[in-house]
Structure 1
């Protein structure tokens, strides 16, 4: 699904930033030590910047990364055909208010596109057409039957679903 790809891309980007900041903290400490002992002030300056970024940024990015998991679970539930908030909440073992907030957040961030949300039910904006393969009653050729019926590509016969 398109929204699952967007969500996974955001999760990967956040994970990469979290890992880089996790590495920046100890690397910055080492840069400060080696920069100060060897009179290399540029290295020491980078060490200070890396340490500050790692110390303050790392926890925030890891917390942000953790907040993607409930969104991913809801996206999976929607892909499985669950559209009511109480059913999604039951399935995932979460509170319904939390699920409503997460769905609104996902729609705002464009992780869940093609749906409208009224606070209780998530409805597809354009209804999906149900297609199945059938046989033409006149010539026996294969045709694709939708809700509206079908036209045989071989003999031109109209087939209307009842």
Structure 2
């Protein structure tokens, strides 16, 4: 289950990109993917790190309160922070979704769209945000929002459904 193997790193220096995050955390265990995003005020960065195994995520959490550059980082499991969104306009891209969240002051850590290789009519996205509170706020602000004649559906993803 992705929630058990994914961590959120808060307060990384602005100079930290995917490569630097990967290098800093690679000894915790095999890493599947790293996403990096600026905070709203662009004074620090977030990272979303998906490990291949649960023990990698646990090892990463032990890095909380370590100082990286001048910043004390916080590392935690990324739980209840994934949105499921559908019924956005067919022309919508990851950029449009990222902008939509930014307009309500929420940082999108990652946006996963389905492959359209075999079915071009599939229109949904999984979006990771930085807190449970932001996830609930997105549902409150975006669920039912009308965009170009489409009524957006936004929910907190339930991995058990």
Structure having the higher strand fraction is 2
**Greater percentage in helix:** 1
Q: Which has the higher contact order (CA 8 A, sep 6+)?
A: 2
Which TM-score band applies after superposition, normalised by the shorter structure? Answer: under 0.3
TM-score (norm 2): 0.23
